[in-house]
Amino acid sequence: MAAIIKHAVISGAGSGIGQAIARALYLQGASLTLLDLHLDSHAISTIIGSKKQGDDDRVQSYELDIRHSESVWEVVSGAVAKAGSIDFAINCAGINITAPFEEVSSTDFSAVIDINLKGSCHFSAAVLPHMRAGSHLALIASMGGLLANYAYSAYSSSKFAVVGLAEVLRMEYAPKGIGVSVICPPEVPTPMVEKEMLSMHPVQRALKDTAGVVTIDELVSYVLERTWRRRRFLVIPGRRARLSYYLSRLIPKSWMHFYTDAVIRRVLKRHQRA
């Protein structure tokens, strides 16, 4: 049986997956260090309930930009001085700017890389020195980091790279007894995804449907079970998502291209008629 999480650090805790994981860990009795660009009183109350943050010494919250490595390092070091070494750390901070490649500005492309990939690097660099044998680091990637999707040039580039980063960290920190996981969920109904759906390309929608949808509660339960308790490296919530991934590993790449190209042609033809 896995040890109890005494101190957890969660980035992106102001909403979505990060907030839901923080709430679950708080209910389990963990002390929390919450990081996000914006952390208002509503976000904190969603995590800790009716208590006021000042009345609960188990919770520290800090507003910071994950793109600034020095800020992340300083905040995490200060949090450790108050709450002790880190048992569990999960980076949930991320953005998604989706559009056909020719419509993505270099500024937007860089922003996705800076937050999703470099942010994962900055977070890892800040927490790992404060972790010891038995601790666990988890990085949120995406199914878009395992299987590319239409209009995902920036997002998939960043998330494929997060998977690669996690692979290297797993190898380097396994001898120290520190576990590493990378989490690749399919579509999850979070504020970021709801915003994405407002302008989602129909081809992107059709391809995403292949991997299905998981609820936030299903994701949290599965992630904590597979990362902290079972120490698995690759964590894919959702049966349809796992099936899609493993089929992609078994089926020749040319066959996968044939399938996706057929879907793209069909959807574009239907869209042009509409």
Is the model's pLDDT at 161 over the cut of 70? yes
> pLDDT tens for residues 100-128?
999 999 999 999 999 999 999 999 999 99
Residue 138: per-residue pLDDT: 98
Is the model's pLDDT at 274 over the cut of 80? no
Residue 51: per-residue pLDDT: 62
Residue 119: per-residue pLDDT: 98
Residue 196: per-residue pLDDT: 78
User: Domains of the chain (ranges plus CATH)?
Assistant: 7-202+211-250 (3.40.50.720)
> pLDDT tens for residues 211-243?
999 999 999 999 999 999 999 999 999 999 999
> pLDDT tens for residues 184-206?
999 998 887 788 777 788 999 99
Residue 60: per-residue pLDDT: 96
Catalytic residue numbers, as ranges = 155
> pLDDT tens for residues 43-84?
999 999 866 555 578 999 999 999 999 999 999 999 999 999
Average pLDDT of the chain, as a whole number? 94
d(CA 62, CA 76): 9
HEC states along the chain?
CCCCCCEEEEECCCCHHHHHHHHHHHHCCCEEEEEECCCCHHHHHHHHCCCCHHHCCCEEEEECCCCCHHHHHHHHHHHHHHHCCEEEEEECCCCCCCCCHHHCCHHHHHHHHHHHHHHHHHHHHHHHHHEEEEEEEEEECCHHHCCCCCCCHHHHHHHHHHHHHHHHHHHHHHHHCCEEEEECCCECCCHHHHHHHCCCCHHHHHHHHCCCECCHHHHHHHHHHHHHHCCCCEECCCHHHHHHHHHHHHCCHHHHHHHHHHHHHHHHHHHHHC
How far lies 119's CA from each of 72, 109, 116, 140, 158, in Å?
9, 14, 5, 11, 10
Percent of the residues in the chain that have a pLDDT greater than 70, as a whole number: 97
Is the model's pLDDT at 164 over the cut of 90? yes
Is the model's pLDDT at 6 over the cut of 80? yes
Is the model's pLDDT at 1 over the cut of 80? no
Residue 141: per-residue pLDDT: 98
